[in-house]
Amino acid sequence: MSVIFGGFTIYVLPCCVQRSGVEERKMKFIRNMSILGILRFGTVVCSLISLKHVAVSFTETVKASAPLFTVILSFLILREKVGLLVMFSLIPVMAGLSLCSANEISFNVIGFVAAISNNIMDCIQNVFSKKLLSGESSYSPPELQFYTGTAALLLQIPYWIYTIDFQESFTKPDYFYIGILMLDSFSFYLQSVTAYGLMALISPITFSVANTVKRTLLIWLSVVVFANHVTWLSGLGTMIVTLGVVMYQRAKQVEAADKHKQQQDQNHRASP
């Protein structure tokens, strides 16, 4: 459904979308969209596996380690470097994650591995998406969402054919379930387009840290909605993760101010 929403936005409402306008070689285009589609498919599958085996709060806490993975991947793919102050600010995020993991009542190895795998693939997807959004191709966020969603859909069709009982699904349709799926698909579409739009404006590292704030909110919402039992050490770990996010934002501000001051000093010395 999210692919249908994306296609409608691009081809039916072209006035709402800034098309890239770049003629890209067909094989290069297929390669880029296939890579992102595989990553998107993998992140969704691993996320669902994790949610099946462990609590939502634990899954989202594991994903809070995304900034560290993104720092490494941003350097390897985009050659984006960060200062020591920013690196040190990520330590509380990892420490809080470890504390939550060690004291999580619903801990399960399969769920933990799936959450970590989701985290790594999501970080790779974010960094690669940033490269496509800001490179010579310069895709628009709706285009990137639609084409990668289509690639992920093609990967999922064989699994659907193998697992779904189509005769029972068509003879006994659950309209409430269908309505929930459509609402979920539309929400996922809006989340994807918003994420790609935000990615075009900021660095992958800042995007990961912003996601950590969102995940902290999801952790506590899941505790309230699903009545998950949380130990006081897990709660402490969540607060440490949040503190690490605040420290990261402050470290980025200090680093940006230092770079600006150095640039001004260089310009002052270079001027006659």
Q: Report the domain count for the chain.
A: 1
Q: In angstroms, rounded to a whole number, what is the distance separating the alpha carbons of residues 56 and 48?
A: 10
Which H helix or E strand runs over 89? helix 84-89
Q: What is the pLDDT of residue 22?
A: 46
In a domain, 20, yes or no: no
Q: What is the pLDDT of residue 168?
A: 67
In a domain, 10, yes or no: no
pLDDT per position as a tens digit, 33-45: 888 888 888 888 8
In a domain, 209, yes or no: yes
In a domain, 76, yes or no: yes
Q: In angstroms, rounded to a whole number, what is the distance separating the alpha carbons of residues 149 and 154?
A: 9
In a domain, 179, yes or no: no
Instruction: Give the DSSP per-residue string, 6-73.
Output: HHIIIII-GGGS--------HHHHHHHHHHHHHHHHHHHHHHHHHHHHS-HHHHHHHHTTHHHHHHHH
Confidence label for 62 from pLDDT (cuts 50, 70 and 90) = confident
pLDDT per position as a tens digit, 69-108: 777 777 777 777 777 887 788 788 777 766 766 655 667 8
Q: What is the pLDDT of residue 221?
A: 74
Owning domain of residue 224: 25-157+187-257
In a domain, 202, yes or no: yes
In a domain, 39, yes or no: yes
Measured in whole angstroms, the distance separating CA 25 from the mean position of its chain's CA atoms is 28
In a domain, 266, yes or no: no
Q: Collapsing DSSP states into helix, strand and coil, what is residue 100?
A: helix
